[in-house]
Structure 1
């Protein structure tokens, strides 16, 4: 007869029978996890819907069926966990600004999504570096790099929605680094590649305005055809060229080189050709919406005059500037008045740069300052781009510093005070 040992009689060796309580606990835990999953999925659906309806339109010069944030980014986000998280975070960041009643909860949701995105992004970058060492196939490497770069672009825009954040600069630096590793000769995913190159161009053009201590680089697009109905691409490129030229000339001057005067007719002709070309494109595009075409032309004129004024501020002698800019500023002012009175929401968010340039020349005009502050505030409220609060703060500082009648150029003021002034991007 087999004897039972003490070990066999111990509770540990006895078969465990599920009690009613333990089953209840297990069942409750499963229910909680199920509810959490459904709540998370519902929240993500709301955020994707907000991105599709509200955010995508603010990230393009002109919203429409070709908007690449819908046609390119959203489908890719469904396949990439990293890009999906950053897109959701971008939507949450925007919603936190335009939905003040839920601000604190949405800010926390954005932070959680941003942190999760960064964790995924770090893993992706580590994998990409290992693939680079292992010399894996070019198609895989390009696809992963595109995913990484688009994720960082989304992170950059998300920080531009967050009040007082300067992290957009960090993410923009990451975009540049990713771009440096990307092979432009790769024929795969060319449309997506073109899109993120355009986005990098935009971010660098409008983010370099307040940058003086770091080198500026110019990237050549892989194609001259924009991925969306972008009527302002040529002005963005000209804006960046003006900034790069100004920084190059200033660096040369500081090293003791004697500089020849800038032939401003070259820049005037370049900008006028761009203006005429885009006007012809708008006129030749069949549109049922006359109001939209009028609004587009108004924005185009405002961008044109703003770029002309900026070119004189950046590159002309003081004597040339004092003669050329007053009539241009009058035209710019009139166009801004017309733009803001015209009911075309799909293009009215493009007012920031013209408004900024007008502001840099309004230090002696209190009425214009009041109008500019009001329009900037309304624009921030309508678009969610809180980064423009730093732009407005710069203008206030500049106005206060030159209120006594100083004719100091705003570019030199920004350069002299770069360490003190919060970096800003005009968007």
Structure 2
């Protein structure tokens, strides 16, 4: 493999001289920052361009250090402000190595939101995510002793936060955590991690609620809990870094952390320890913060894996979420015994499970709708309690035939429609909870409710009625859904809600080219807006399904079940 110097981006910052490894190899160095790309191509550990300490047995001949051995230091080769490699890292850093890196940092400077730098100040390069943490070089040096002949001090550590650009932190609902004068968990001693948590606060957390507002629990519950729970903090930072990379096409810069891979690996290590303690302790909630932090971390990891289109780890985290939720809510315990934070986490786990269960056929028992505390019944919860019952009925009918366990309302088309209409009416009374500012926004909110209504109704018809008896009703649901979507004035802040109903309507688009094009465009727009790639496997499935004939493949659930047996599983959320 080779690298042409002419192929490098001329706008990227460069070191002022070659790296020492290229010098020894007698080849032209590309001087990329923070490390040489030619070394990376050869899987060599580039030493970088910065401060190098050589220990020598010489002694000082002047000043207060006369007669004492001194380190000999090369003059710095990196321009002030350019990123440098502060340490090397391994693909799976140990807890000890990570802690030593964080602890070697003195006091992290406080970061406050400011106007984003111009594009010319940003860089698309990022420290290579390979090599292991080592103690900062400053901790190896004795305190400096004043001397008349002393050289001028070395440049301060570059401010890496200036390289994280392309966004504005102006969300009026953000918490804007003040990191000064408060104890910080090790990751937050990196000022870039503080900046990243602010990015999560303003931008990433806004993609989780049905409609963004002051009661966004992925902000108001998760962030305060993350300041106390190490594993959750690591998960939120990893998710925010991945979301930034997905949306902007470049890595997030850190000063003392290698990147999201290190954060995720460290998170899983800490979580595994906490899970073992939780599952072996008969007294659940002996430590409420730790218990709630476990489920919060698992849910954050579930969503982290949704950012990439090719990740299958969501199934592992989903299984853990099911286990913890049942442990908290099944007899002898009940949802009524949970505190506010835990109840929110249970509700979110239920939503995730209801979404995931519709497209997965693993034979495992889903989380029942009864886990939701009566006081927590809120927007869309009743819809997904119906959806979960429909999914359970489909699985039961597949295993036991038409006589399988089925909820009463699913026994006829009329009763199905009546149940959904009653839920739609109650959901339209929730708009006051969102402090919607304008009549236009209330109109859009009601249109989203209608989209879920007709998608859910369509799903029920697909499962419970014969294809011939339900064909006209299913076509009506799909057409009305499209009309509801086109009535929305502004999709800002709600476009991520469209994904599941779009998929369900997409399963009715076989043979309808215009509807297929509409579904594709909407799913791609939703991914573009959020920066998450979780719709890609679902869209690929729909494209394969659209190519089948009705005689070959009667319905999408049969195809999804057959592909699941071959290992192809996907999630729509």
TM over 0.5: yes
| Aligned residue in 1 for 2:271 | 121
Is this contact kept in 2: 1:312–1:325, CA < 8 A? Answer: yes
Structure 1's 126 and 396: CA in aligned 2 closer, same or farther, altered over 3 A?
A: same
Pick closer, same or farther for the CA change 1:218–1:96 going to 2, 3 Å.
same
- Alpha-carbon shift at residue 236 of structure 1 (Å): 1.8
CA-CA distance at 1:222 after TM superposition: 4.9
**Is residue 2:284 matched to residue 1:151?**
no
In 2, the alpha carbon distance for the partners of 1:423 and 1:44 equals 34
Structure 2 residue 138 is the aligned partner of structure 1 residue 30? yes
Aligned pairs for 1:16-415 within 5 A:
18-21=68-71, 29-30=137-138, 35=157, 41-102=190-251, 109-132=259-282, 138-182=284-328, 184-185=333-334, 190-219=339-368, 220-226=370-376, 230-253=378-401, 262-282=411-431, 287-339=436-488, 342-402=489-549, 408-415=554-561
By how many angstroms is 1:238 displaced?
A: 1.4
What displacement does 1:32 show? 9.0
Q: Determine helix, strand or coil for the equivalent of 1:237.
A: helix
Q: Distance in 2 between matches of 1:113 and 1:101?
A: 17
Describe the superposition over 1:29-80 as per-residue Cα deviations: whole angstroms up to 9, x where unpaired. 1269995999762221121112111111111111111111111110010011
Q: Give the SS at the match of 1:345.
A: coil
Q: How much is the aligned-residue C-alpha RMSD, in angstroms?
A: 3.4
Aligned-pair CA distance for 1:258: 12
TM-score with structure 2 length normalisation?
0.64
Is this contact kept in 1: 2:335–2:371, CA < 8 A? no
Counterparts of 2:484 and 2:220, CA distance in 1: 32
Per the TM alignment, residue 126 of structure 1 is displaced from its structure 2 partner at its CA by 2.9
Asked if 2 retains the 8 angstrom alpha-carbon contact of 1:143 and 1:189, the reply is no
**Count of aligned residue pairs for this structure pair:** 401
Which residue number corresponds to residue 572 of structure 2? 426
1:328: how far off? 1.7
Other structure's SS at 2:233 match: helix
* 1: CA distance, partners of 2:481 / 2:465: 19
Query: Aligned partners of 2:434 and 2:328: how far apart in 1?
Result: 35
1:286, distance to aligned residue in structure 2 (A):
6.3
CA distance in 1, matches of 2:136, 2:342: 48
CA distance in 2: counterparts of 1:280 and 1:241, whole angstroms: 23
For 2:350 and 2:433, the matched residues in 1 are separated by: 27
For 1:175 and 1:416, how far apart are their aligned partners in 2?
A: 25
Q: Which consecutive residues of structure 1, in runs of 5 or more, have no partner in the other structure? A: 1-10, 12-16
Contact 1:131–1:141 (Cα < 8 Å) also in 2: no
Distance across 2 between alignment mates of 1:400 and 1:86: 39
> Aligned equivalents of 2:545 and 2:241: distance in 1?
33
Q: Give the whole-Å Cα distance in 2 for the aligned partners of 1:388 and 1:222.
A: 27
CA distance in 2, matches of 1:338, 1:86: 37
SS in 2 for 1:244: helix
Q: Quote the Cα distance in structure 1 between the aligned partners of 2:516 and 2:219.
A: 37
CA contact (8 A) 1:160 1:168 kept: yes
Greater share of helix: 1
* 1:4 equivalent in structure 2: none
Deviation at 1:266, TM superposition (A): 2.4
User: 1:104 & 1:373 partners in 2: Cα distance?
Assistant: 34
Uncovered stretches (5+) of structure 2, i.e. residues with no partner: 1-56, 58-66, 76-103, 105-134, 142-155, 162-188
CA offsets, 1:248-305, max 9 Å, x none? 1111119x97999932322211111010111233379764322211110111111100
| Other structure's SS at 2:358 match | coil
1:348: how far off?
2.4
Q: Please give the per-residue CA displacement for 1:148-190, whole angstroms capped at 9, x wherever unaligned.
A: 1111111110001122111111101011122233364487761
How many Å separate the matches in 1 of 2:216 and 2:194?
20
Q: Is the 8 A contact 1:128 1:141 kept in 2?
A: no
Contact kept? 2:212, 2:493, Cα under 8 Å: yes
